[in-house]
């Protein structure tokens, strides 16, 4: 086995931090849009951790986390194993400040669709080709994945989601989540081995744990997301013996304990501006009003109430061009709030 870790054009020998690109797609100007990648190889043996951000083009907090971890916090001389960092997984979405690829309106990770975009099509659409290149060059080389997303303003809650319905990855995912140390949403839907080959399903089939992170204030580089993200990634590396040191508890933002469960989306029945009356992470009883929709005269049109006892994790507001959270306004049917319950709630 070679001692060189090669990802796209980046090559790292033991002790190196190297940069390069995964070859992307060509625009009609014949300019190529590639995917920048950082690769760090430790001087001792250990697992390969892949940290990716900005699968959705407006969710940029993870970019800073990857830069700080790989350029400041980890010295390859202290590292057992390797880190592959991809700050912007979908440059086609990022370049147009859009959630999805502007060129074909597709989601690189296959999220939110009955027929999700898969990573097995080298001759597919532009975004399918990016997914294929990411699988070939990066995801298929990982022993562990941290996939950093973000919710948007206002006041969302930092959380992580683990899919524990796959016996091959369940224990490692719990270990990653406990080490990262934020509110944990648990989905125990059984994993189907014949699931469509999205990036996430391909690693799940191999038994590679893939932790989904949701930082907050996704359009910006800001606290507490930067510190929480860096601390969480380093904690996972410590827990899996890639680095020396103790796991540090997360602090400075709300953390809901227990195994949390995603319950649903609240949608607007009226259109207008929206004001929020409660902060995500606050325990709410069924029937508590948490938002008001009002018109351009200032009249309240709808009081939005909690459907069950539980918590709100984010206020995505209205969608525009497939991009949630564009403005503090909603149309009929807009997703206003994501809500969840905890195994430890009263
Ligand atoms: Zn996302």
Domains, the chain, in order of start with CATH, read: 5-239 (3.40.630.10), 259-342 (2.40.50.100)
* pLDDT for the residue 71: 98
Planar angle of CA 243, 246, 249, nearest 5 degrees: 120
> What spacing in Å lies between the alpha carbon of 81 and ligand 1's midpoint?
27
> What spacing in Å lies between the alpha carbon of 141 and ligand 1's midpoint?
22
> What spacing in Å lies between the alpha carbon of 213 and ligand 1's midpoint?
9
> What spacing in Å lies between the alpha carbon of 225 and ligand 1's midpoint?
14
Residues of the chain with pLDDT under 70: 1-2, 112-113, 153-155, 317-326
> What spacing in Å lies between the alpha carbon of 91 and ligand 1's midpoint?
14
pLDDT 10s digits, 308-340:
999 998 887 666 555 555 678 888 988 889 899
Peptide bond into 227 cis (omega under 30): no
> What spacing in Å lies between the alpha carbon of 152 and ligand 1's midpoint?
10
> What spacing in Å lies between the alpha carbon of 21 and ligand 1's midpoint?
22
pLDDT 10s digits, 19-59:
999 999 999 999 999 999 999 999 999 999 999 999 999 99
User: Which letter, b or e, does each residue of 71-89 get, where b requires 16 or more Cβ atoms within 10 Å of its Cβ?
Assistant: eebbebeebbbbbbbbbbb
* pLDDT for the residue 18: 98
Pinpoint the alpha helices (H) of 125-262.
Answer: 126-137, 170-180, 199-206, 225-239
> What spacing in Å lies between the alpha carbon of 132 and ligand 1's midpoint?
19
Q: Where are the beta strands (DSSP E) in 188-321?
A: 210-215, 259-267, 272-276, 289-294, 300-305, 311-314, 319-320
């Amino acid at each position: 086995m070679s001692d060189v870790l090669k990802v796209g054009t980046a090559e790292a020998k033991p002790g190196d931090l190297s940069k390069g690109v995964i070859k992307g797609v060509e625009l009609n100007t014949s300019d190529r849009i590639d995917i920048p990648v950082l690769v760090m190889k430790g001087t001792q043996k250990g697992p390969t951790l892949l940290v990716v951000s900005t699968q959705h083009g407006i969710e940029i907090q993870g970019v800073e986390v990857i830069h700080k971890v790989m350029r400041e916090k980890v010295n390859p001389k202290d590292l057992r194993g390797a880190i592959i960092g991809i700050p912007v997984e979908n440059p086609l979405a990022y370049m147009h400040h859009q959630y999805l690829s502007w060129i074909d309106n597709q989601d690189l990770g296959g999220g939110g669709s009955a027929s999700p975009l898969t990573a097995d099509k080298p001759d597919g659409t532009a975004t399918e080709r990016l997914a294929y290149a990411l699988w070939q060059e990066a995801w298929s080389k990982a022993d562990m994945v941290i996939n950093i997303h973000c919710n948007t303003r206002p006041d969302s809650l930092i959380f992580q989601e683990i899919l524990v319905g796959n016996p091959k990855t369940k224990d490692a995912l719990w270990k990653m989540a406990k080490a990262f140390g934020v509110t944990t949403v648990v989905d125990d839907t059984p994993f189907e081995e014949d699931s469509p080959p999205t990036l996430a399903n391909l690693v799940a089939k191999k038994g590679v744990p893939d932790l989904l992170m949701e930082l907050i204030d996704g359009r910006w580089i800001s606290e507490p997301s930067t510190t929480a993200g860096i601390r969480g990634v380093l904690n996972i590396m410590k827990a899996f013996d890639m680095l020396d040191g103790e796991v540090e508890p997360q602090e400075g933002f709300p953390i809901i304990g227990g195994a949390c469960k995603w319950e649903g989306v609240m949608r607007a029945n009226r259109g207008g501006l929206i004001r929020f009356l409660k902060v995500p992470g606050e325990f709410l009883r069924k029937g508590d009003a948490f938002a008001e929709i009002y018109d351009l005269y200032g009249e309240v049109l709808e009081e939005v109430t909690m459907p069950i006892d539980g918590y709100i994790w984010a206020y995505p507001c209205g969608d525009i061009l497939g991009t949630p959270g564009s403005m503090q306004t909603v149309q009929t049917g807009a997703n206003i709030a994501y809500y969840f319950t905890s195994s430890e709630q009263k």
